[in-house]
Structure 1
């Protein structure tokens, strides 16, 4: 199977996941796994902005150790890479262990991470997080890889927005159900 066929199959699988479940954890896990396998990389992760817009919290990961996933939130004051990505740019990091823009260089080295490609997650042109793929050897990502990851990030953002809308509708529905109609008697 050539790379493009792998991309199309992964995009299809991600789209099916978005459309078949309202469980955001399951959908995002499926998406990051599809992305990592299609791009033939060590790992993939998705991080979401906290409500204050100051940190990126773990959303989903594939191919990363529990230790790496638990290293803590990404503080945007400490991560120039993520600030740049959240402004709408795609960023490549040649070596995460030595690039001062990458907050967790030592943790990346310990995890065996070398190159990283980071793309924004956007909903209605507002940043909601970032998606990253990681390699275990130095790699320059080409335009097609950037385009693929950007496309799958857009599907991820759609899944996140669908889950948020579902939760809002569910809360509204529950409040309607709890309304005491006896007040009109």
Structure 2
């Protein structure tokens, strides 16, 4: 297994795999209410079986080259993650996403982790476009998209039914040439 430092001594990015199911469930239980403000992940991961099934689904996506999931650990504790919900290698597109429990908020972990996976997707997999879809009410996630140098493509009005309400979804993206240019500028 590999671990990539996220720039401080205690934070690292690692693949989340089915054998992490118990740890993933414990993490989800710690952050369930906070994480569930904008995304349905806590509604999907509710017990050990569903935790294992969710991680197995991403192991199968990875095997098919259609998605990936990574955990963010600080001081040996799983506190969040980033993923490619979708990857279409033939078309050169991917959709990235994230989640974080409250104990890890405000440290830049998601931004740093997303940079790692976007860099990998563009430089190693030849992805041309990486999208970031986010509830218009999720200001912290929108701020991540901005810090990543993404451009707001538009709003899918009332397109996401979650917790009985329709939510607007903002679509942000970065294209490979833009990513490379911003990386070289900094």
Higher fraction of strand: 2
TM range (shorter): under 0.3
Q: Name which one, 1 or 2, has greater alpha-carbon Rg.
A: 1
Higher fraction of helix: 1
Which structure is richer in relative contact order (CA contacts within 8 A, separation 6 or more)?
1
TM-score by length of 2: 0.27
